[in-house]
Chain A
Amino acid sequence: MLRSVSKSYESGRGATLALDDVSLVVGRAQFVTIIGPSGCGKSTLLRIAAGLVRADSGEVSIFGEDPRVACANKHIGFVPQSPALLPWRTVLENVRLPLQVNRRATRGAPGDAGGLRDPADILAAFGLGEVLDKRPAQLSGGMQQRVAIARAFVFDPAVLLMDEPFSALDELTREVIRYELLDLWSTRRTTVLFVTHSVPEAVALSDAVVVMSPQPGRVSALVPVEIPRPRGELVELTEDFRAIERRVRLELRTAAGSGGRAPGRGEQ
């Protein structure tokens, strides 16, 4: 939950307001996507929620905890834009990493008995059972990003924060991996805050799409996605999907204003 969050950055030309009075509530087990043109502060918003950046004003809470406390308790899973895999570790060792650091928090986690997952199992469920002992450099970009997602799920965090995790992938891989993510998510129903530039991705994944406007970043619309789950690739052919997609695009155009331009279909 974010309430009246503002954040500005110092630059050569004075302070730039990145976020202005942003409020957002994400319910448990919800998948919420933030979309908006470049410079609308969506990544800043995610970094504030992850405790990586402090807001200048406003209130941020991860189910009652300050983000830094949530990090200390390992309640936040973070998937950055690049896979951020450690090249000297194998795939399995990379996925084990969250279990190896800050072990005190893992031991105390309520899900210790059944919540934590076997890294090898989660990798196998993600179609990576054959590459456990490979190093990241031996994998394709899509496989590396799958490993990064598996690493985020492995310690069963309360909230998953994903910062354009598919932006470096080709469109075909992107379409496949988004439904693999949905499959994995449906087994855990972790609360997810997902940042993307892609409208179809936002609609396919989410329970709600938050549209942000740029300079300064504000929430300009909240579009609910009332399409039944589970969703597969065919959902994108349905009229409901297309209607919501059209609405998100319309909201994006409004948010971008006369000087902005909304992303086209599949644009990253």
Chain B
Amino acid sequence: MTRAFRLDVWLPPVVALGVLVLAWQLVAVHEPAHAVATVPETFFELAHHPGLYWRSSVVTLQEIGVGLGASFVVAFALAVAMVHVEIVERALMPLAVALNVTPVIAYAPGLVLLLGFGIAPRYVVTAIVVFFPFLVNSLVGLRSVDASALDLLRTLHASRREVLWRLRLPSSLPYLFAAARICLPLSVVGAVVAEFTTSGSNAGLGSVISSANQQLDVPAIYAAIIVLAALGLVLTLVVVLLERRVLAWHPAGSRPR
């Protein structure tokens, strides 16, 4: 029997999810102020407004994709520069740390004022939230090369570019996938926080929560949360599957036994 159909693989998470849904329903039913939507109310909301949640998901997904992608490209390019020119790291790493320790919620309104109420500040906020983990993991990954393999390439007079493509980049892949696993949930947080502060055009799932909150539409809040959770899970699953394929040679890419 393949792993995908094994009961001991699927049963534990399914039972845990069942227990969680049951507990949610019990709390919702016995909560007197009706501040928690019941399970049927939530799924009724989803079933009756599928277009709204689909469109909102696409917007949030777009923010995650652009923010994450742009952040990764900039962070990796910067890490490459830092590995090769020490002064770049000394100059820019303190700024990156400062950016990381400043709460995103603090500068998001300022970005909206600067970039307008469109989708642009959301991209930037999402990108900033995931920038530091990408930068640090890229840096560690690019430096985590086998010293003997580096010696070997040096005796072959390999150029910096050859060392980067043939040794540093593949060596850094386990670290980049680890960063992706950390950054995906962070990017969802970043996108939702950005939407909270920029609600208006192109409503994403964060905007749906924000406006439902103002209208005390509890089922809509829970429906958007469920969709966000599903979105995060699907994205994480994509990364895990990609990691298994790309890192087949590495212990991180092999399945747990």
* Chain A residues close to B by CB (< 8 Å): 47, 50-52, 68, 71-74, 76-78, 80-82, 84-88, 97-98, 100-102, 105, 135, 137, 161
Q: List 18 A-B contacts (CB under 8 A).
A: A47-B151, A50-B155, A52-B154, A52-B155, A71-B155, A71-B157, A74-B156, A74-B157, A77-B155, A84-B148, A84-B151, A84-B152, A88-B173, A88-B249, A88-B250, A100-B166, A102-B157, A135-B249
1/0 per residue, CB under 8 A from A, across B78-109: the answer is: 00000000000000000000000000000000
| Chain B residues whose CB sits within 8 angstroms of the CB of A76 once the complex forms | 155
Expressed in whole angstroms, the Cα–Cα distance for A73 and B157 within the complex equals 8
B170 x A102 contact (CB < 8 A): no
How distant is the Cα of A84 from the Cα of B167 in the complex, in angstroms? Answer: 11
Instruction: Specify which chain A residues have a CB less than 8 angstroms from the CB of B154 in the assembled complex.
Output: 51-52, 71
Q: Which of B149, B162, B170 neighbours the largest number of chain A CB atoms within 10 Å of its CB?
A: B149
A72 to B249, CA, bound (A): 31
**Shortest Cβ distance from A194 into chain B, in angstroms?**
15
Main secondary structure of the interface of B (DSSP, over half): helix
Verify A80–B151 contact, CB threshold 8 A: yes
* Bound CA span A52–B147, Å: 12
B201 within 8 A of A: no
Instruction: Specify which of A77, A85, A101, A105 is in contact with B162 (CB 8 Å cutoff).
Output: A101
Interface size on B, residues (CB 8 A): 19
Is B158 in contact with chain A by the CB < 8 A criterion?
yes
Is there contact, CB below 8 Å, between B148 and A81?
Answer: yes
A22 CB to closest chain B CB, in angstroms?
20
User: A82 contacts which chain B residues (CB < 8 A)?
Assistant: 146, 148
Q: Contact at A88–B148, with CB atoms within 8 Å? A: no
B249, A80: Cβ atoms closer than 8 Å: no
- B→A interface (CB under 8 Å): 146, 148-149, 151-159, 162, 166-167, 170, 173, 249-250
Query: Are A78 and B146 also in contact (CB < 8 A) when A86-B170, A87-B249, A100-B166 are?
Result: no
Considering the chains assembled together, what is the distance between the CA atoms of A41 and B250 in angstroms?
35
Q: In whole angstroms, what is the CA distance A50 to B156 when docked?
A: 10
A101 touches B153 (CB 8 A): yes
The 7 closest A-B pairs by CB, nearest first: A84-B148, A80-B148, A78-B155, A101-B158, A84-B149, A72-B157, A88-B249
| Cα–Cα distance between A84 and B159 once the two chains are bound (Å) | 18
Task: Contacts A71-B157, A102-B158, A102-B159 given; indicate if A88 touches B152 (C-beta within 8 A).
Answer: no
For residue B173, which residue of chain A has the nearest CB? A88
Instruction: Identify A80's interface contact among B152, B166, B170, B173, CB under 8 A.
Output: B152
Interface centre among B151, B157, B167, B249 (most CB of A within 10 A): B157
Residues of A within 8 A of B158 (CB): 101-102
Q: With the chains together, A218 CA to B179 CA distance in Å?
A: 49
Complex Cα gap A86–B145 (Å): 10
A78 near B151 (CB under 8 angstroms)?
A: yes
Known: A101-B162, A101-B166, A135-B249. A71 touches B148 (CB 8 A): no
B97 CB to closest chain A CB (Å) equals 30
CB B151 to nearest CB in A, in angstroms, measures 6
Contacts of A100 in B (CB 8 A): 166
Q: Interface centre among B153, B156, B158, B250, by most A CB within 10 Å?
A: B156
Q: How far is the CA of A122 from the CA of B154 in the complex (A)?
A: 23
